[in-house]
C-alpha cells in the first residue's frame, strides 16, 4: 500500500479519464512495451521508436521517441512504485537501480493510478515537477498538451483491446 502524499497544485498537473474497460487492460496498456508504442507519443507529432519497461521498483522505463522524421531520442527513468492494476510511479530524475540521472530535459515524477468504477476504470496521470518554473516551462513547451493527447490515445488503445 502506498503512502499518500500531499500535492502542491503549483508543482503538478493531473489528467483524468474514465476508460470503459477493466483495470487489467489499462494496466497492460501502461506496462507492456508493445502497447506503449501505440499510445505514448502523440501520433501527429512523432512515434515511439523503442520501449522497454521493467515493472518493479528500481526497474527501467525507457521510451525512445522520434519527432516527425527525426532521429529517436532516449527518455530513461526509474520505476519507483508498483501496485499491479492500481498504481505505477516512475521518475526521470533517476536511472534504473535508483542511480542519479543526468539529463538535459525538465525532470518529472509520473504517478499513474487506476480505480475500478463499475465495469470501467478511473485513470489519473499526475506529473510532479521540482518547482513552479519547471511546471510552467513544461506547459509552455507543449508537454501538457502532448500528454493530454497521449492519454486520449491510451483510452482509444485500451478500448480497441476489448
pLDDT tens per residue, range 29-55? 999 999 999 999 999 999 999 999 999
Lowest mean pLDDT among 1-5, 68-72, 79-83, 134-138: 1-5
With respect to residue 48, please indicate whether it lies within any of the assigned structural domains.
yes
Whether residue 75 is contained in a domain is answered as: yes
Residue 24 is predicted with a pLDDT of: 97
Residue 7, domain member (yes or no): no
Domain contains 9: no
Domain interval for residue 101: 17-161
Does residue 145 belong to any structural domain of this protein? yes
- CB proximity list for 53: less than 8 A, separation 6 or greater: 31, 32, 33, 36, 59, 60, 61, 62, 79
Q: How many domains does the chain have?
A: 1
For residue 28, tell me if it sits in a domain: yes
14 vs 97: CA distance, rounded Å: 27
CATH of the domain at 72: 3.30.530.20
Residue 4 belongs to some domain of the structure: no
Average pLDDT over residues 148-162: 97
Instruction: Give the pTM.
Output: 0.92
- Top mean-pLDDT range of 24-28, 71-75, 140-144: 24-28
Q: How confident is the model at residue 4 (pLDDT cuts 50, 70, 90)?
A: low
Amino acid at each position: 500500500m502506498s503512502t499518500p502524499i500531499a500535492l502542491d497544485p503549483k508543482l503538478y498537473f493531473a489528467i483524468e479519464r474514465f476508460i470503459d474497460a477493466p483495470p487489467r487492460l489499462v494496466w497492460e496498456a501502461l506496462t507492456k512495451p508493445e502497447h506503449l508504442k501505440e499510445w505514448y507519443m502523440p501520433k501527429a507529432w512523432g512515434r515511439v521508436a523503442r520501449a522497454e519497461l521493467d515493472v518493479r521498483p528500481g526497474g527501467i522505463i525507457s521510451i525512445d521517441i522520434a519527432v516527425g522524421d527525426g532521429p529517436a531520442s532516449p527518455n530513461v527513468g526509474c520505476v519507483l512504485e508498483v501496485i499491479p492494476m492500481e498504481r505505477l510511479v516512475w521518475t526521470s530524475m533517476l536511472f534504473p537501480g535508483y542511480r542519479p540521472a543526468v539529463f538535459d530535459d525538465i525532470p518529472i515524477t509520473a504517478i499513474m493510478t487506476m480505480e475500478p468504477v463499475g465495469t470501467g476504470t478511473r485513470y489519473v496521470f499526475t506529473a510532479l515537477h521540482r518547482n513552479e518554473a519547471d511546471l510552467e516551462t513544461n506547459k509552455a513547451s507543449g508537454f501538457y498538451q502532448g500528454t493530454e493527447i497521449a492519454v486520449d490515445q491510451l483510452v482509444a488503445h485500451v478500448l480497441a483491446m476489448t
